[in-house]
Amino acid sequence: MKQLLVVIILSLLCYEGFAQRVIPSQGNKVDKKRLYFLVHDEKLKYFTLEDGEDDKEPVGEERSFALKKRYNNLYFKWLNPIKYTYEWKDTTYNDERDEAVKEFVNILTSPFRSAGLNMDIAESSKALSKSNPAAAPAGSTGIYVPSPSGFNNVDLTLLFILLRDKQNTLTPKEIEEISNLSKELEKLDKKITNSISDEIGKHFQTLIGIKDPDQVELAVQLVNSDLSKYETSFNEIEKLRSTISQSNTALSISDVLLNSYTKKIVSDFLDEVSKGVNTDRDLVTKIKPVLNLLQESIEDESEDQEGYFGIREVSFDEGKVLKTTVSITEFEYKATTNELEKKDVVIKNELSFREYDFINVSVSTGLFYANTELTNYGLSNSDDSFVVKQDTIERSTAVTALFLNFGIEEGSRMISPLAQIGVDPTKTRPFILIGGGLSIPLAKFAITAGGIWTWNQTLDKLQPGQKVSATTDLEKDIKYNFEMEPKGWYIGVQYMF
């Protein structure tokens, strides 16, 4: 009893005498190949299918997940992909969604066709009201000009005011050709009146304002319907432009100066129309990826959790750990400048993924009280020679060893079984320690005990009591053999492991 008390006292005195190599916890166990995330109260939270959304908990700055398989699907509660973008630090390619939005905004903020088309219906109407057309020649009703406001394009209006002022110098045939040209120009002028850039700008504001994934499909359909109308309009404009260009080329007015001036004004107008159509086509082309982005964002919906969509997959090789930093950035649309501006990085968290193992491992070095019984061979003097003798040495001493500890990953926080393997490499005959005990995970405290195995001395040819002439004879004859029976026991206390 007294010896046991000494053992316990020595163990308690030496428990702080070890250095610990910290091995991170495996993290939260994930049984199925699905993890669910959402932004709630400006924090990234997660839950598993088994727990349900009501049991969501914050990820914190860093969260580790232990996967049953080295693969998992990450589902996020739907966020508008135009307004929110995901960035993963473990990837190096540019997100095509970012590129689609940036290209669209760049084209949206460009100066479109209004800079060159000189569109001002008020100015055209004012100029037309003040004009006094010359008398038309006999047999002619005069040159046709859209009334009461003229063309939307001021340059066209001023041209036909000039032609009307000069119509008394023109033949009835020339007036007819000019009037036909005027009617064709009127059709084209009306078709380019509506600003497609403004309409698509409004569409974009509608799309970026969507908060419910159930609204996406209808919104995309409506915009695609308008895009089809725009395409039809583009084709009609191109057809009219081609017809007018042919008529303009064929136009022949006897007044050479007037003929040249008319053709130039009409030709300049057609060039600007062509530029405007190309700009609008480019704008339509750029909004299509945005629509695709929205459509794709609702395609991979979880079958078990409505409103959650697959964002990415994680996988890694055996024995590896995947770490990734996820950032969610919010953008806002500035209607005054037609720009999409970065508002804030609303979420930034680190996620770690490793393969789950029900055994938890830790490594420690420590002092443990050991009691051993070892065989030892020596020499005693006898006259002029030495005699081989055998001793059994019993020792009770502190042992320094490196331990590999095995615990249960999922167990009580109050008490849990522990197994360990240790080695003491500092001796001539290293100790192998195998034992176990009980740990208190809450306090990171454990009491362990076990057996000690080592290499014991044996004689090869000599026998105890045999005489030898020199000490080297014994040294050469001693062999070290590992014995399967334990040669002693140890008891120890571990803390903060």
Predicted confidence (pLDDT) at residue 19 exceeds the cutoff of 70? no
In the predicted model, what is the mean pLDDT of residues 271-293? 87
HSE-up of residue 407 (Cα within 13 Å, Cβ side): 27
Do 16 and 492 meet the contact criterion of CB atoms below 8 Å apart?
Answer: no
Distance CA 54, CA 38 (A): 12
Q: Which residue has the higher pLDDT, 334 or 218?
A: 218
What's the pLDDT score for residue 456?
84
Q: Using pLDDT thresholds of 50, 70 and 90, give the confidence band for residue 337.
A: low
In the predicted model, what is the mean pLDDT of residues 2-29? 47
Q: Rounded to two decimals, what is the model's pTM?
A: 0.66
Q: 253 by DSSP, 3-state: which?
A: coil
Mean of the per-residue pLDDT values for the chain?
80
What's the pLDDT score for residue 426?
64
What's the pLDDT score for residue 96?
30
Do 36 and 269 meet the contact criterion of CB atoms below 8 Å apart?
Answer: no
Torsion sign, CA atoms 99, 103, 105, 106 = positive
Predicted confidence (pLDDT) at residue 13 exceeds the cutoff of 80? no
Chain segment 155-214, per-residue pLDDT in tens: 888 888 888 888 888 888 888 888 888 888 888 888 887 768 788 888 888 898 899 999
Percent share of the chain, pLDDT over 70: 84
> Does residue 58 have a cis peptide bond before it, meaning omega lies within 30 degrees of 0?
no
Q: Which residues of 472-492 are buried (b: 16+ CB within 10 A; e: fewer)?
A: ebbeebeeeeeeeebbbbbbb
Q: Which residue has the higher pLDDT, 53 or 4?
A: 53
Q: Which residue has the higher pLDDT, 48 or 12?
A: 48
What's the pLDDT score for residue 379?
82
What's the pLDDT score for residue 57?
92
Show the tokens assigned to 294.
């929205």
Distance CA 190, CA 458 (A): 112
Q: Using pLDDT thresholds of 50, 70 and 90, give the confidence band for residue 133.
A: confident
Q: Using pLDDT thresholds of 50, 70 and 90, give the confidence band for residue 497.
A: low
Q: What is the dihedral of CA 66, 68, 73, 75, to 10 degrees?
A: -60
| Chain position carrying tokens 């009980």 | 438
Which residues does 285 contact at the CB level (< 8 Å), separation at least 6? Answer: none
Percent share of the chain, pLDDT over 90: 22
Distance CA 423, CA 412 (A): 28
Q: Which residue has the higher pLDDT, 359 or 128?
A: 359
Show the tokens assigned to 110.
């460009």
Distance CA 79, CA 86 (A): 10
Inter-axis angle of helices 256-297 and 172-191, nearest 10? 20
CA distances from 497 to 278, 368, 373, 409, 419 (A): 70, 15, 30, 14, 13
Predicted confidence (pLDDT) at residue 104 exceeds the cutoff of 60? no
Predicted confidence (pLDDT) at residue 39 exceeds the cutoff of 60? yes
Estimate the share of the chain in helix, then strand, then coil, as percent rounded to the nearest 5.
35, 35, 30
Chain segment 396-434, per-residue pLDDT in tens: 777 777 778 888 766 677 888 989 888 876 666 778 888
What's the pLDDT score for residue 170?
85
Chain segment 346-366, per-residue pLDDT in tens: 999 999 888 887 777 777 776
Chain segment 376-398, per-residue pLDDT in tens: 888 888 777 788 788 877 777 77
In the predicted model, what is the mean pLDDT of residues 297-324? 90
What's the pLDDT score for residue 75?
95
Chain segment 106-126, per-residue pLDDT in tens: 433 443 334 445 555 666 677
- Residue 374 has phi, psi (to 5 degrees) of -125, 150
CA distances from 442 to 366, 411, 437, 439 (A): 20, 11, 16, 9
Distance CA 497, CA 405 (A): 9
Do 328 and 347 meet the contact criterion of CB atoms below 8 Å apart?
Answer: yes
